[in-house]
Amino acid sequence: MNAPMAANDLNLMKFGIGQPVPRQEDPTLLRGEGRYTDDMNLPNQAYCVMVRSQMAHGVIKGIDTAEAKAMPGVLGVWTGADLADYGPLKTLIPVPNRDGTPMKTPTRPSLATDKVRFVGDPVAFVVAETLAQAKDAAEAVIVDIGQLPAVTDAREATRPGAPVVFDDAPGNICVDYLYGDSAKVADAFAQAAHVTRLRLVSNRIVVCAMEPRSAVADYDAKTDRYTLRAGNQGAFGLKHQMAALLKIKPEQMRILTGNVGGSFGMKGSPYPEYAGLFHASKILGRPVKWTDERSGAFLSDQHGRDHDFDAELALDKDGRFLAVRLVGFANVGAYLANVGPLMGSMGVTRNLAAIYRTPLIEVATKVAFTNTSPVGAYRGAGRPEANYFMERLIDTAAREMGIDRIEMRKRNHIKPEEMPFKTASGTTYDSGEFTTLLDKALTFADISGFDARKAESKARGKLRGLGIGDYLEVTAPPMKEMGGIRFEPNGDVSIITGTLDYGQGHWSAFAQVLTEKLGVPFHRIKLIQGDSDLLIAGGGTGGSKSIMASGAAIVEASDKVIDKGKQIASVALEASAADIEFTLGRFTIVGTDRGIGIMELAERLRSGMKLPEGVPETLDVSHVHEAAPSAFPNGAHVAEVEIDPDTGWVEVVKYTMVNDFGTVINPLLVEGQSHGGVVQGIGQALFEHVVYSEDGQILTGSFTDYALPRASDTPSFQLDYHSVPAKTNVLGAKGCGEAGCAGSLPSVMNAISDALGGKHINMPATPERVWAALNS
C-alpha cells in the first residue's frame, strides 16, 4: 500500500510549489503550432480594412465612399453614421476631481463622426472578399477634413489658447486630481532643512506587442449570438464590455481567445474596430476578419506612460523624509482608454511612498486630452513611474546633502517590527524586510568591488556609474475569479480559469498549485481559458494579480473537491465520511492503510460507480474566489552602466536584482518575468520614445525610427530572492509580472546620473542627451 504514496510524494517534489518547472505552453509554440487570432479563419469569411485619419485634428466635412463601393470584391463601406445605434467606448475607472466632481468623459464612438482627434483615428472601414481588395478600396475612400491646430503635449495642452480637443473639456482637462493635505505638506516643506527638486518625465511608449491586434467577428442570426475571436487579457470581462458596446445581453456574447502574443495592458479592453466588424457580419451574414499591420499598431494601439512632473522631497537635517510632492501633468491622448487617467493620478499616488517612512504625500495632476493616440495601461500602470520619481529624488537628495545614498535609504526604510504599516497614501503593508533585502542585493552585486570596476572602465576611456532601484509596488486587488476543476473522461484534470495567459506561463504555475493541493499527476493537468461560455467569473490578467486570484481560487476549489471526495471515498472504502482523511492525493480511513487515490476514485466514477442518495456524483467543482487585498512585491535592483564620453552611448554592463515576491510558485517563470520587465525598463530608460510633430504627425511610426532594446543591449542578469510571504492571500504570493520595470527604471537612470557626476537627464537617455549633459 506504500507504493502509491511514494509515487505521489515524488510527483509533489518534482512539480509542486517552488519548483522550476518549464512552461507547458512552450513545446507547441516553439514548433510553430500556436493559434493566434490571425491564424483563425472561418468558412466564407470576409476581410476588413480600416480607413484612418491622416490628420491629427480637424472637422470631418465629408466622406466619399462611392468609388470604393464600386470596386471589385467590395461588400460594403461603412462610416460613423452607420454605427450610430451602438454604444460608446467607455473607460472603466473614474477618477474624481480635487473638488469631488466627476472627471470629463467625452463620448467616443467607434468611428469618428464630427471631428478627428489624432492621426490614426478610424473614420470608416471597408469589407471585401479578399484582403487585397479591401486594402485597394480603403485607399479609394476620400475623407475631406478641415484641418485644425493640434496639441500633443499635456503641459502645453493646459495653457491658455491651446487647441481644444473637446468642447466640453475646457482647458483640455480630463481631471484635475489632488491627493493629500496641501497645507500640511506646505508646512513640512517650510520646516525642512533641505528640499530636493527635479523635473521628471516618464516618456511615452509604444507597446510593440509581438502580435498586432486582430479580430474575427461572427454573428449567428439563428441563435442571435455574437462570437468574437480576439486577443485580450480576460474573456469574461471583455464579454461584458462588448455586450455593453453592442447593446445586447451578456449571454448573447461569446469571447474566444487562443494564444496571445503579448499585451502589457494594451489589449485589455474593446477597440473601435470591433463594433464595425459585427455590424458588417450581421448585414452580410458571414464572418468578418480584421488584422492590423505594424504601421497601424503604432498609430492606433493605446500607448503607455507620458507623465511630466515637478517633483520635490523635503528632508530634515539628518536626511529623514518629511514629505514628497508631485505637481504635474499626465497625457491621456485624444480619448479615454481602458483605465483612463488612472496611471498619472491614483496609480502614482498609491505607489509613491514605496518602502519608505514618508509622513506626508501630495500628488496634484492635471490629466489632459491631446491630439495623440489614447494612453492606456502599460506594464505597471503608474507603479514603475512612482518608484522612478521617488528613487531619483532620493539619489539627488543624498548627493546634495552629502549623505551616502545607501545610508539615506536605510534611515527611511519601514522596519519589519512596524508591520502592518499604514502609508500616507492609504495602503497598509502587511510584510517586508526592506533593509535586509537591500543589504543582500548590495552584497550579491559586489558593490565593494565597484571602485575597481570603475577604474578599469576609466582605463578604457569609459565612465562607469552605479544605480540603485529600491522599489515596492502595490498590485491590483484581485477581483472575483473562477476556479473550476473538472475530471475529464480521458483521465485528465482540467483547471478552468478567468485569468488569461498572454505570455506569463499560467498553465505550469496553476498546475503546480493543483498538484500540491490534490496530488493530481502534473502531466495530466490541462488549463482551459479564453472561452467566456465556460466562465462564471473572471477578473482577467493584469496588475500582477493572477497567481493571487487564480491560485486562491484553485486552492479553495480543491478544498471543495476534497470534501466531495471524502463522501464518495466513504462509499468506495465502506467507511463513514467522518473517518476519511486526505493526504498526498489519497483518501484513507483514519488509522488504517486502506485507501484510494483521487485519480482512481475519479476513474470509478466514470465507470458508473453506484452511489447512495445524497452523495455527490462527481468530483467536479465550479467555484468563485471572492477577492483578496493587494499585495506588495518589493526588491532592490543594482545596475551598472558604462558611458562613452565621445559619443554619449550608454551600455548597461552589470545588473543584479533581489526581489521579495512572497511565496514563489515557479522560480523559472518568475525569472523570465523579471528579465522581461527589466528589459522593458531598459528600453524606456535608454531607447524608446514616441515623438510627435507640432501638427500631430507621429515621427516615430515604425521600427526604423522607434528603437527597441535587443539582446545585445542587456547584460546577463543576476537574480536572487529574499521572500517574506504575504499575509493577504492563501498562497503568500505577492505577484511579479511588472516588478522588473519598477526596479529597472530608477536603477538604470540613477546609474547614468552617477556616471555623469550627479547631473540629471530625463528618459530616454539617448546618446544625444547624454553627450549634451557631458558637454554642457
- Which grid cell sits at 715? 547584460
pLDDT of residue 7: 47
* Cβ(60)–Cβ(123) below 8 Å: yes
pLDDT of residue 278: 98
pLDDT of residue 751: 98
Neighbours of 289 (CB within 10 A): 24
Q: Where are the beta strands (DSSP E) in 457-573?
A: 463-472, 481-487, 493-497, 525-528
Phi, psi for residue 244 in degrees, rounded to 5: -65, -40
The CA distance from 470 to 413, in Å, is: 10
* Of 243, 248, 217, the residue nearest 230 (C-alpha): 217
Task: Tell me the average confidence (pLDDT) per consecutive run of 10 residues in the chain, 776 residues long.
Answer: 44 79 92 96 98 98 98 98 95 93 96 97 98 98 98 98 97 98 98 98 97 98 98 96 97 97 94 97 98 96 97 98 98 93 96 97 98 96 96 98 98 98 96 98 98 98 98 89 96 96 93 96 95 93 92 96 97 94 95 95 95 95 90 98 98 98 96 97 98 97 96 96 96 95 98 98 98 95
Residue with the three cell numbers 533585502: 437
For residue 216, the cross-strand partners are 229, 289
* Cβ(435)–Cβ(410) below 8 Å: yes
- Which grid cell sits at 102? 466627476
Angle between helical axes of 383-401 and 739-755 (0-180°, round to 10): 30
pLDDT of residue 730: 94
Exposure pattern of 127-163 as b/e (b: 16+ CB <10 Å)?
bbeeeebbebbbebbebebeebebbbbbbebbeeebb
pLDDT of residue 340: 84
pLDDT of residue 92: 86
Residue with the three cell numbers 543576476: 718
Three-state secondary structure readout of 583-599: ECCEEEECCCCCEEEHH
What SS3 state is found at 327? strand
pLDDT of residue 4: 42
Largest CA distance in the chain: 86
Give the ranges where 334-459 is alpha helix by DSSP (H): 348-352, 383-401, 405-412, 434-444, 450-459
Angle between helical axes of 405-412 and 383-401 (0-180°, round to 10): 120
pLDDT of residue 13: 55
